[in-house]
């Protein structure tokens, strides 16, 4: 019986991550306990939340002094002014704001709610917030190299986060850090089934894999922050590396941001 084209495995048994933890070593041990051995072509999807925790991106809101702008935006959105202050610090600009909604263009270039700052699965109360990794692409690269050294195989690594979408309800997993594979596939010039050449087709491959992994990792109390994807095949001739930054639509092309 042939193997399935695509397989997803959750790495069970990872502990709650603390600042300074060696994530790569913990994942290598989890692979072993789950009876998995890394293979060439494997992709590890790692929720950015555990990377942020390991990198010390947790902020005690009781230490945050809101600026005048943060106080004003908080009054307009009904949000905690301390949280708004962190959102503004992580943002290039405010894209949209309204009742309980604050959409920003993050300093890294993407548009998201609250600059990607999260309070779920952090500390259990409203006085703590978790920022995204300082440089998610660099974090993905370091994790890839460390896991490769420990396991003898270099996997592709995607750091994932959960984002909303401007014209559709429901959150989905997206890539905020990528190493060891292209984030964006350019299929322009390739032929379709009827030999018509594709003119505009680009595929957010890293986003698709992040969304697939979230079917297992979930967004609540599942406790499965790392998913191994096996069997994903890139089209011939695609680059061997990329970054999540390749996915971000530049401001001059963004009609909605």
Cα separation, 193 vs 25, whole angstroms: 45
Cα separation, 204 vs 212, whole angstroms: 12
User: Domain 59-129's class?
Assistant: alpha beta
Least Cα distance to 158 among 219, 216, 205, 224 occurs for: 205
Domain with CATH 3.30.1330.100 in the chain: 7-56+133-253
Q: What is the pLDDT of residue 220?
A: 63
**Unique residue bearing structure tokens 């530049």:** 250
Residue by residue, pLDDT tens for the chain (257 residues) are: 455 689 999 999 999 999 999 999 999 999 999 999 999 999 999 999 999 999 999 999 999 999 999 999 999 999 999 999 999 999 999 999 988 899 999 999 999 999 999 988 787 778 999 999 999 999 999 999 999 999 999 999 999 999 988 888 999 999 999 999 999 877 655 666 666 776 666 788 999 999 999 999 877 667 899 999 999 988 776 777 889 998 888 888 777 75
Domain with CATH 3.90.1660.10 in the chain: 59-129
pTM passes above 0.95: no
- The CATH fold assigned to 7-56+133-253 is 60s Ribosomal Protein L30; Chain: A; (3.30.1330)
**Unique residue bearing structure tokens 């993407």:** 110
Q: Are 114 and 83 in contact (CB under 8 A)?
A: yes
């Amino acid at each position: 019986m042939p193997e399935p084209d695509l397989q997803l495995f959750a790495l069970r048994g990872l502990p709650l991550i603390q600042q300074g933890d060696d994530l790569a070593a913990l994942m290598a041990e989890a692979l072993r306990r789950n009876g998995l051995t890394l293979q060439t072509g494997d992709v590890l999807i790692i929720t950015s939340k555990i990377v942020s925790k390991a990198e010390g991106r947790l902020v005690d809101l009781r230490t945050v002094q809101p600026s005048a702008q943060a106080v004003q935006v908080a009054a307009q959105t009904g949000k905690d002014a301390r949280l708004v202050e962190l959102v503004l610090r992580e943002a290039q600009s405010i894209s949209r704001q309204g009742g309980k909604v604050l959409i920003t263009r993050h300093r890294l270039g993407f548009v998201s709610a609250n600059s990607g700052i999260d309070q779920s699965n952090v500390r259990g109360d409203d006085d703590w917030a978790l920022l995204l990794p300082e440089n998610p692409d660099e974090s993905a690269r370091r994790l890839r190299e460390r896991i490769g050294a420990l396991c003898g195989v270099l996997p592709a690594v995607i750091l994932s986060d959960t984002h909303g979408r401007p014209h559709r309800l429901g959150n989905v997993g997206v890539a905020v850090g990528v190493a060891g594979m292209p984030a964006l596939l350019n299929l322009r010039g390739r032929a379709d089934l009827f030999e018509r050449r594709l003119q505009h087709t680009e595929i957010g491959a890293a986003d698709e894999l992040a969304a697939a992994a979230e079917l297992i990792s979930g967004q609540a109390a599942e406790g499965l922050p790392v998913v191994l994807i096996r069997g994903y095949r890139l089209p011939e001739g695609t680059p061997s590396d990329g970054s999540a930054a390749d996915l971000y639509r530049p401001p001059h092309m963004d009609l909605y941001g």
